[in-house]
Amino acid sequence: MYNLIIGYVGPSDTENEITVSASRFLEYTDSETQMRYRNLSSENVGEIKDFPALLMQEHYEDGAFVAQVKNITRSARDYKITFERDESVPVLTPKEIDELTIELGIDDFEFYRTHWAVKRADLRKLLSKRVFSPDPEPEVEFAFENLPAEPGEQFNKNQVFIVHGHDEHAKNDVKAYVESKGLEPIILHLQASGGRTIIEKIDHYSNVGFGVVIYTECDVGAKRDTLDYKWRARQNVVFEHGYLISKLSRERVAALVKGDVETPNDISGVIYVTLDAAGNWKEELDTELRNAGYSI
């Protein structure tokens, strides 16, 4: 976890204290974290102070710096934050920030709005691994491979995106399965909207290494001029299934099918797994997750 504070102070500024509007606290923060820290009890303040902070101005033209929060006080409408810069961590350049945006969980438009978010990424681990690790070539700032990444490789493999319809039992079964593997289930309606449209929200929260789409008996449909009705998944489920395949690749998306549901029949190579009562689907998903590079 780390604090992301944008628009109040940057590397070229000298302040060590800022005032943040209470209305901007926890913007662009996932819903679970919002629920945890929306009331800043002394215990919660202690936890937040333990998280490192990444501070930058909007547009981050002069980069960003790492600091440690020392004190948080609340007034009627604001939070006053006192911090101490971590001089052991070099200032991040705009290029370095761009390279780390996805792994830091920062959406592009966040850079253009003053706010204070609490993000789930491990900031210090990312900086140690991606920016400041020893490099045999001194003139090279990053140790990245020049080869293009495979689809999904640049995304978070600690999370699994879940698409579902109206069947709450199926959704909760898959959520419990993902959590049992030590992974974080990403369910769209549980995530903060932050002013995003639905498609922007899908794009923002689907930066994961694997997606599970649940086809359940939610709608009915038939070919025109016939009465041969069949069970179908919700239209948003089919849409998001195709979206994830495009974004992550077919190999990183599995569809769980519960009941007698009609599935799209003109898409070849799509993985369909029967969501059976015996739970055999879990073993099949284990295999697909391992093939996608997950450690489970």
pTM, to two decimals: 0.51
Other beta carbons less than 10 A from residue 88's beta carbon: 7
What is d(CA 177, CA 164) in angstroms, rounded to the nearest whole number? 14
Cα gap 236→234, rounded to integer Å: 5
**Rounded to 10 degrees, what is the CA torsion of 35, 41, 47, 53?**
80
CA 5 vs. chain centroid, Å, equals 18
CA dist., res. 63 & res. 27, Å (int)? 21
Give pLDDT tens digits along the chain (296 positions). Answer: 999 999 999 999 999 999 999 989 999 999 889 999 988 889 999 999 999 999 999 999 999 999 999 999 988 889 999 999 999 999 999 999 998 998 899 988 899 889 999 999 999 888 886 544 444 444 444 444 444 445 555 678 899 999 999 999 999 999 999 999 999 999 998 887 777 888 888 988 899 999 999 999 999 998 888 888 899 999 999 999 999 999 998 889 999 999 999 888 656 568 789 999 999 999 999 999 999 989 98
Question: Are 69 and 83 a contacting pair, CB within 8 Å?
Answer: yes
